[in-house]
Amino acid sequence: MTAGLARTIVTGVIGSDTHIVGNRILTMALEKAGYKVVALGALTPAADFVRAAVETRAEAILVSSLYGQGELDCRGFRDLCVEAGLEDILLYAGGNLVVGKRSWDETEETFLKMGFDRAAPPGTRAETVLEWLARDLSPA
Amino acid sequence: MSAALLIDFGSTYTKLRAVDLERRRIIGAGQGPSTVASDVMLGMKAALGDLERHCGGLPRFRHRLASSSAAGGLRMVTIGLVRELTAEAARQAALGAGAKLVGSFAYRLTAADLAQIAALRPDIVLLAGGTDGGNSEVVLHNAAALASGALECPIVFAGNRDAADDARRLLAAKALACTENVMPAFNVLNVEPARAAIRQVFIERIVHAKGIDRAAAEFDAVLMPTPAAVLEGARLVADGLPGIRGLGDLLVVDPGGATTDVHSVASGEPAPGAIPQGLPEPRVKRTVEGDLGMRHNAATIVAAAGLEAIARDAGLEPARAGALLAQVSADVERLPASAEETAFDQALARAAVKIAVRRHCGTTETVYTTTGSVTVQRGKDLSRIDAVIGTGGALVASPDPRAVLRMALADPAEPLALRPRAPRLLLDREYLLYACGLLQSVEPQAALELALGHLADLDHETARERARHA
Ligand code: B12
């Protein structure tokens, strides 16, 4: 695959969250699978994900949140994308989205309602994420 | 004797410096009115006559090189996609090329934007947008929009390389230069090729369009806009050459009549532990503060600093400072004619330098997370640079240039600003930075030694020496 044809994906850890390990593992797996990855790293404001996706014509944004404030940080994320002309971009959230005694089903529903296409339960493996992308990204 | 003539076709004066290349010294200086709008030769002749009087005859010049900020400077409009990304990278490229930025646009150009661009009468438009392989729709939309408009100036394309061929087709009827993307990958800045392309268009077309080439008999080449020459001079003085050490990382401040320019040559990397955020900035960076000018924009300096503060700094009653402000605003050519006016100018320059350097330098911010705090840095960390150089008429005329330059330094009242902490303070008293920026294109070693030999070290200058210069 040439650089020009590679599909671009934006990754990062949202908000004031510094848990970078899982995000980095994910980024490396994506690159190995042939994606062009724009890795924004830890402590990334929501707007920076969107700006990066606009310039690079990314087809998916993978938002990590581990520290327990993911729901707060991700509010309005889809709206930001729509605002920037990215209404159809694929959005995933993952990491450690469950807070307190909430069930995963409840948490997942919250994120899907916010406009994410998928939410990953804690401990989701990178291979699973690659399978999802292969299924969800429209053929080039 | 082997001599060089360095010419600055400025906005109000045509300034000349004649230098002895072997002995690395100034032979003389001359100046005449800038008459680019009517006949550039008149001012050039006057300046040469002035130089001849100062030198007692003119030597034969081996090089005669010029820069220009005449006829409004190099007026540029920049266009990018996202304001904080390619649009900002395009601005940085234009400023680094020595342009006078008259407008910056982002996203899709509207009909109103196009009308505004035409009204701004730019000399060059820089069109960017999209990383390589990234978004090409918007930059092509904008290329088509520019193609349909009446705009006749040259366009430099520095956007997504995948879109370059289509852009070339769309803009076939315009004068177009294509160069590398100002942001080839996300958050990767690549402004040098765009700077070079802008300079090339400047040499090939703008010099003629502005009528400067009517004085072509008196020079070999107009190499670049004057701000770019200052920037090149600063780069040379900072970096040195193989075998000749430069001054190291540095900042140049120029509080001028209409704007305050700040140049830095320093990578400004984050201090250990700080997390960088936002677009990385070029190592050779120029900012222009359009609201901080000693004459044309004195009122906005006072508005930004506060009349009370300016008056206090000048040792004047606020009402008196207000009256002096009205006077310089109405008479922009005015030179201080009394102790009061000198004190007022000094306070204006100090405020302009304080604010302009604050805007140029990066900042740190402490982000509180659940575990504790992290330090986030935006922009360049200039706290550890080696030198601050003052240039321009206001500083040279100042009774105490050191007191003006000190305003660039770190201030406990602004703990988050990454201003220089303990640099050497130097003054470009002979107005040589632009001249050395020009000269380095042909005689880099002579240019460097000339500059190093003539920057006045303000830390070692006594009051008596200053009095002698004044
Ligand atoms: C290491 C660690 C830290 C380190 C982080 C070091 C660093 N810079 O990365 C330090 C000590 C700094 C830390 C600090 C804190 N931590 Co901590 N930390 C952990 C720990 C032990 C491991 C995280 C990790 O690296 N996992 C390994 C990686 C590989 O897994 P992963 O991140 O989950 O990623 C995988 C998947 O989730 C998935 N994935 C990840 N992102 C995404 C995104 C998408 C879109 C998809 C589809 C998939 C996906 O792919 C990855 C590969 O399989 C976890 C507990 C745990 N076992 O998970 C707590 C944990 C995440 N931390 C926690 C907390 C509370 C904190 C603090 C708030 C503690 C405090 N009160 O001071 C601070 C927050 C600091 C901050 N501002 O971010 C809680 C979060 C609770 C919650 N979510 O409700 C956890 C769960 C511990 C706990 N059980 O209480 N922590």
Q: What is the ipTM of this complex?
A: 0.72
Atom 19 (ligand 1): residue with closest C-alpha? A19
Distance CA B312, CA B308 (A): 6
- For range A117-139, the mean pLDDT: 94
Q: Which residue has the tokens 């070692």?
A: B460
Task: Name B425's bridge partners.
Answer: B388
Q: Which of A93-102, B30-39, B145-154, B158-167 holds the top average pLDDT?
A: B158-167
Q: Is B460 exposed, middle or buried (0-12, 13-18, 19+ CB in 10 A)?
A: exposed
Give yes or no for residue A14 CB within 6 A of ligand 1: no
- Beta strand pairing status for B284-289 and B260-265? antiparallel
Atom 2 (ligand 1): residue with closest C-alpha? A19
Report the percentage of chain B scoring pLDDT > 90.
78
Of the candidate ranges A115-119, B26-30, B148-152, B327-331, the one whose mean pLDDT is the lowest? B148-152
Give yes or no for residue A17 CB within 6 A of ligand 1: yes
What are the residue boundaries of the structural domains of chain A, listed by start?
8-137
Closest CA to B134 of B188, B76, B96: B188
Q: Which two tokens stand for residue B31?
A: 């100046």
Helix (H) or strand (E) holding B277: strand B275-277
Residue B470's pLDDT is what?
47
- Residue A66, classed as helix, strand or coil, is coil
- For range B423-434, the mean pLDDT: 95
Closest CA to A50 of B3, B81, B242, B430: B81
Distance CA B376, CA B358 (A): 17
- Confidence (pTM): 0.84
| Cβ contacts of B134 on chain A, cutoff 8 Å | 8, 55-58
Q: Which two tokens stand for residue B333?
A: 């050519």
- State the span(s) of chain B assigned CATH 3.40.50.2300: 74-205
CB contact (8 A) between residue A42 and residue B275: yes
- Residue B350, classed as helix, strand or coil, is helix
pLDDT band with cut points at 50, 70 and 90 for residue B16: very high
* CATH code of domain B74-205: 3.40.50.2300
CATH for B3-71, options being 3.40.50.1820, 3.30.420.40, 3.90.870.10, 3.30.9.10: 3.30.420.40
- For range B379-404, the mean pLDDT: 95
Closest CA to B353 of B393, B294, B306: B294
- State the span(s) of chain B assigned CATH 3.30.420.40: 3-71
CA distances from B97 to A32, A82, B13, B195, B223 (A): 39, 36, 21, 5, 11
Give yes or no for residue A10 CB within 6 A of ligand 1: no
Overall size of chain B counted in residues: 470
CB B6 within 8 A of CB B16: yes
- For range B289-312, the mean pLDDT: 95
* CATH code of domain A8-137: 3.40.50.280
Closest CA to B245 of B469, B26, B448, B5: B448
Residue A3's pLDDT is what?
46
The answer on pLDDT for B372 being more than 90 is no
Mean pLDDT, chain B, rounded, equals 92
Report the percentage of chain B scoring pLDDT > 70.
96
The answer on pLDDT for B371 being more than 80 is no
pLDDT band with cut points at 50, 70 and 90 for residue A5: low
- For range A46-61, the mean pLDDT: 94
The answer on pLDDT for A2 being more than 50 is no
Label residue A43 left, alpha or beta by phi (over 0 means left) and psi (-120 to 50 means alpha): left
Label residue A68 left, alpha or beta by phi (over 0 means left) and psi (-120 to 50 means alpha): left
Q: Which two tokens stand for residue A11?
A: 């990754």
Cβ neighbours for B301, distance < 8 A, ≥ 6 positions apart? B291, B292, B293, B294, B310, B348, B351, B352, B355
Distance CA B296, CA B249 (A): 31
Instruction: Determine the residue among B186, B189, B277 to mutate to test chain A binding: the one whose Cβ has the most chain A Cβ atoms within 10 Å.
Output: B186
- For range B201-223, the mean pLDDT: 87
CB contact (8 A) between residue B135 and residue A55: yes
- pLDDT digit string, tens, across residues A13-44: 999 899 999 999 999 999 999 999 999 999 99
